Amino acid sequence: MSDTKTYNGSCFCGAVQFTVTGEPAAMGYCHCESCRHWSAGPVNAFSLWQPDAVKVTQGEDKIGTYHKTPNSYRKWCQSCGGHIFSEHPGMGLTDVYAAVIPDLQFKPAVHVNYQETRLRIKDGLPKLKDFPKEMGGSGVILEE
């Protein structure tokens, strides 16, 4: 058998349960206005996964979806309002918020959209102005 890891996640109240399997494609922090405004926090700790790595195991009917743009379909629990994950169809990846999968060891590698930051973080990781070049961004690195 494979040693593929599975991590359990849930919304704030636990009505929605899900698993993510394997390893994330990327982990880091996003400082963009959309992440800050929707999360009501200063920064979003993201982990990006192949969409089929994410499986809802309970409470599918409780999941609400909102999309302001076609880039991000934001999912939350309609019972507690807790955020779960966002699908990014253009990127072909799903952002499972690191905070909702506590078993996953969060190993951030990059900060994105740092030009919009409201919380400077001096952790020595690269601070991208927007997105990496391979994801359609400028790839420009800013000062911490």
Residue 78 near Zn ion by CB under 5 A: no
Among residues 6, 13, 71, 133, the one that binds Zn ion under rule CB under 5 A: 13
Residue 91 near Zn ion by CB under 5 A: no
SS3 call for 80? coil
Q: How far is the CB of 82 from Zn ion (least distance, A)?
A: 5
Q: How far is the CB of 112 from Zn ion (least distance, A)?
A: 7
Stretch that binds Zn ion, among 13-21, 65-73, 85-93, 115-123 (CB under 5 A): 13-21
Residue 30 near Zn ion by CB under 5 A: yes
Please identify which residue in the block is written with the tokens 């379909």: 73
Distance of CA 137 to the CA centre of its chain: 18
Closest C-alpha to 49, from 80, 15, 22: 22
Q: What are phi and psi of 39, to 5 degrees?
A: -85, -15
Among residues 80, 91, 125, 135, the one that binds Zn ion under rule CB under 5 A: 80
Residue 100 near Zn ion by CB under 5 A: no
How distant, in Å, are the alpha carbons of 2, 13, 66, 95, 132 from that of 87? 27, 21, 10, 6, 19
